[in-house]
Amino acid sequence: VREKGRRRSDAILDAATTLLVDEGYARLSMRRIAARAGIAPGNLQYYYPTKQDVVRALLDRWLARARADAAAAGRERPPEHRLLASLDAVLAEASDANCRLFWDLWALAARDPIVARATRTFYDRYRDAVADALRTVRPTVGRAVAQRRAMLVVALLEGLSVLRIGRPRTGMPDAALRRELRTLVLHLAKEIP
């Protein structure tokens, strides 16, 4: 009696995620999630009593997966190339849909402490991974310094997604900007005392 329930609650999160990515949080409703998952509203409430519960579960799962993906992608590279390879990977994954989801996430986090906590955990892990990469490139920098610099790198990447607002839909920044970005990050990693 439990296997069916687990598959169902997963399917519900799948439906909710699809809706959230495609149409944004403003158009996400319990009734639409239920319809998308092919169940009655009452059954949705059986698994997730309130809308907040669905959203929190959805984001927990999503952020955990994003972290796992990023960790796996990083591990496959030789250490020296890890930093720049990760840059490219992040830029490549920053599709329009993903960006929109993050913007909704930030707005949501401003009002829901649990979402804020999940978001913060996500970025903490993200920063730590970048800090590791920085110390691989130059092991002499201290842990704390590397973490601060990693924070700047993460800020750069997240900020770049914002600056794409209203631009003709390009998957990522243009080549020249990407070159400037690589140069700046390399300087931060190798040159700045």
Partner DNA sequence: TGTACATCAGTGAACGCGCGTTCACTGATGTAC
Stretch that binds its own copies, among 32-40, 73-81, 86-94, 116-124 (CB under 8 A): 116-124
Determine how many CB atoms are found less than 10 A away from the CB of residue 3: 7
- Which of 94, 69, 77 lies closest to 181 in space, CA to CA? 94
Least Å from the CB of residue 44 to its own copies: 21
Q: Contact letters (x/-) for DNA, 24-43, by CB under 7 A?
A: ---xxxxxx------xxxxx
Q: Contact letters (x/-) for its own copies, 9-28, by CB under 8 A?
A: ---------------xxx--
119, 129, 131, 134: which one binds its own copies (CB under 8 A): 119
Q: Which is nearer to DNA, 55 or 130 (CB)?
A: 55
52 binds, among DNA, its own copies, none (CB under 5 to 8 A by kind): DNA
Site for DNA in 124-153 (CB under 7 A): none
- Binding flag, residue 189, its own copies (CB under 8 A): no
Determine how many CB atoms are found less than 10 A away from the CB of residue 31: 10
- Binding flag, residue 176, DNA (CB under 7 A): no
The secondary structure of the chain in percent helix, strand, coil, rounded to multiples of 5, reads 80, 0, 20
Return the amino acid letter for 167: R
Determine how many CB atoms are found less than 10 A away from the CB of residue 48: 20
Return the amino acid letter for 62: W
Stretch that binds DNA, among 1-9, 79-87, 135-143, 145-153 (CB under 7 A): 1-9
d(CA 161, CA 101): 11
* DSSP three-state, residue 193: coil
- Return residues touching DNA (CB under 7 A): 1-2, 4-5, 8, 27-32, 39-46, 49-52
